[in-house]
Amino acid sequence: MAQYTIAEKISCTGRGVHSGELVQLTLHPARVDTGLVFRRVDCAGARDLHLGPDLVSSTSFATRIGAGDSAIGTVEHLLAALRGLGVDNARIEVDGPEIPVMDGSAASFVYLIRSAGIYAQKGRRRVIRIRRPIEIREGDRSIRIEPDRAFRVSYRIDYPHPVIGRQELHDLVVDPRSFEREIARARTYGFLRDVDALRNAGFARGASPDNTIVLDDRRVLNPEGLRFPDEFVRHKVLDLVGDLALLGLPVLGHVRVERGGHALHQRLVRAIHAECVAPAPEAPPLSVAQPAW
């Protein structure tokens, strides 16, 4: 398979869901084997951030990469759009501390990428191919990846809330078509009772019903309601796609998640990375050995 980049530079502006700051985001085409590279342009001392599990500095309510003047928060929705549409190489410039939340999903980023166009390059795409299962358990929470010829996801969530309850997506093959149709429009969500505590802790300062599904103890408060009856689990799959992008390469395997979140996703990223050594471009796909758990 070929590598892909975007065909031209494109930008958008929006607010960070946690910082509340107005931020401009610009995507640039990049050469073969560049990967997805982030850089803050509002800080003179910022450096390029190349994807890898060691880049993650926080998983509290979002995935944050880098530190100090180079730190960028809430990268998962943009990464999900890039990885979901098959973009391998791009330079991502941000003039603030966080990727803009837009409508709380990846739909705006999908539109941005489609508007720029996706361009096939001459380099061969490298992938991580899972050969043996890797599993992590934390009480009633778990994440597991098994061998598969595609990138496939089965995800279950369970909330004691009348609107959410137990939701599941089963055996979804994530490719550009299914990502755009089934996953990209699913929004992030939060509970009204948590708003004051989150804001006092420095989170959710840009959150609103325009970019978040807001729930009280009984119902959804957004006037337009839900985009999917199971929008909550679909958004979890969106987050997973974005978090797994921190591997730096697409992964082929079936990921099964029970009650997951950013922290659990990143534990899997670190486990896969620890078992793999990236090959040269002409080498065969990676194999993953059984972990010591």
Domain ranges of the chain: 2-124, 128-274
Contact between 234 and 183 (Cβ < 8 Å):
yes
pLDDT value, residue 185: 98
Q: Is the pLDDT of residue 246 over 90?
A: yes
Closest CA to 84 of 3, 151, 12: 151
64 sits in which H/E element: strand 64-65
Tell me the pLDDT band of 97, cut-offs 50, 70 and 90.
very high
CA 219 vs CA 24, 192, 214, 223, 225: distances in Å = 34, 11, 9, 11, 9
Best CA proximity match to 187, nearest among 243, 104, 101, 111: 104
d(CA 293, CA 120): 40
Q: What percent of the chain has pLDDT over 90?
A: 92
Q: How far apart, in whole angstroms, are the C-alpha atoms of residue 218 and residue 26?
A: 39
264: part of which helix (H) or strand (E)? helix 262-274
Average pLDDT over residues 277-282: 41
Cα 164 to Cα 253: distance, rounded to the nearest angstrom: 28
**Cα gap 138→136, rounded to integer Å:** 7
The predicted pLDDT at position 136 comes to: 97
Task: Express each pLDDT in 15-41 by its tens digit.
Answer: 999 999 999 999 999 999 999 999 999
Is residue 76 over pLDDT 60? yes
Model confidence at 231: pLDDT above 80: yes
User: Is 72:38 a contact under the CB 8 Å cutoff?
Assistant: yes
Confidence of residue 180 (pLDDT cuts 50, 70, 90): very high
- Specify the CATH superfamily of domain 2-124: lpxc deacetylase, domain 1 (3.30.230.20)
Q: Please check whether residue 5 is in contact with residue 28, taking contact to mean a CB–CB distance below 8 angstroms.
A: no
Whether residue 216 is predicted with pLDDT greater than 60 in this model: the reply is yes
CATH number of 128-274: 3.30.1700.10
pLDDT of residue 286: 34
Beta bridge partners of 37: 50, 91
- Summarize pLDDT for 106-145 with one digit per residue, the tens: 999 999 999 999 999 999 999 999 999 999 999 999 999 9
DSSP 68: G
CA dihedral 109, 180, 64, 94 (to 10 degrees): -10
What confidence score (pLDDT) does residue 72 get? 98
* Alpha-carbon gap, residue 258 to 76, rounded angstroms: 19
Mark out the alpha helices in 103-260 (DSSP H runs): 107-116, 176-178, 195-200, 231-244
User: What's the whole-number average pLDDT of the chain?
Assistant: 93
What are the tokens at 159?
């909330």
Q: Is the pLDDT of residue 208 over 60?
A: yes
pLDDT band, very low/low/confident/very high, at 293 (cuts 50, 70, 90): very low
Query: Is the model's pLDDT at 280 over the cut of 70?
Result: no
pLDDT > 70? residue 282? no
What contacts 146, CB < 8 A, 6 or more positions away? 130, 133, 253, 254, 256
Strand bridging mode 36-40 / 90-94: parallel
| pTM greater than 0.85 (yes/no) | yes
User: And the tokens for 171?
Assistant: 């055996």
pLDDT band at 45 (very low <50, low <70, confident <90, very high): confident
Active site residue 262: yes
Cα separation of 156 and 259, whole Å? 6
Is residue 241 scored above 70 in pLDDT? Answer: yes
Question: Which of 18, 28, 254, 262 does the annotation list as catalytic?
Answer: 262
Distance CA 134, CA 146 (A): 7
Neighbouring C-beta atoms of residue 156, cutoff 10 Å: 17
Question: Is residue 277 over pLDDT 70?
Answer: no
Segment 155-184 shows an average pLDDT of 97
- Arithmetic mean of pLDDT, 163-170: 97
Specify the pLDDT at position 275: 87
